[in-house]
Amino acid sequence: AHCWCLDVLLRLGGSLLLPCPAPRHPRILCPSWIAFSLKDVTSTLHLPASPCGSISEPKGRGNLDGCIHRAAGPLLKEECRALNGCETGKAKISCGYRLPAKFIIHTVGPIAQGEPSATQKEELGNCYKNSLKLAVENKLRTVAFPCISTGVFGYPNDAAAEVVLNTLHLWLEDNKEKVDRIIICVFLEKDDEIYKEKLPRFFPIA
């Protein structure tokens, strides 16, 4: 898997494989994106000078969540029991335990299995908004997101990327000073290509 990145809020560092996009709205100054193979999500969260949150489901289900639970250790499972589940689109937070991440933010995406409904689109967007809300409340400056719901939950990758980019664009309009970096972790090469293709529509290239 290869990597591509755009640095957040003009905090440039490292090589860019895509041009830095011009702002759609004058209040947004080039939000940062870093995309990398999902297999690295539990080992690449050593993010300098910033506590960070990794997004997961709260019950250890699915390939990604199982990977996070195995890496974090048994204490995460115990804390997740105390969280008492999580409704679709909502988010809860726990310690990161053995993970490099200081915290894990847990959210549950919608099960689409085909063309998503308006409700499912809203629920997916809420996963990102509520996770970022928790990150800000806990003074986390860097957050790493997987592609929520696009695995066993069947949300179409292309449609999910539309929701994610639109949600993050709108969120950053009012909250860009509250984070240093938002990381999108892509699992499949097609996700990488989808985000490259769609990014300029939401953050147009000059």
**pLDDT tens by residue, 14-27:** 222 333 333 333 33
Res. 125 pLDDT band, cuts 50 70 90: very high
CATH class of 51-202: alpha beta
pLDDT, averaged across the chain? 73
In the numeric block, which tokens belong to residue 84? Answer: 């008492």
Q: Residue 124: pLDDT above 90?
A: yes
Note the pLDDT of residue 61. Answer: 52
Q: Where are the domains of the chain?
A: 51-202
> What pLDDT, in 10s, does the model give residues 40-53?
455 545 543 334 45
Q: If you average pLDDT over residues 85-109, what whole number do you get? A: 88
In the numeric block, which tokens belong to residue 78? Answer: 């115990």
Note the pLDDT of residue 7. Answer: 29
Q: If you average pLDDT over residues 161-179, what whole number do you get? A: 91
Distances (CA, A) of 185 to 84, 85, 143, 151, 161: 27, 24, 10, 13, 12
- If we measure between CA atoms, which residue out of 151, 94, 155 comes closest to residue 122? 155
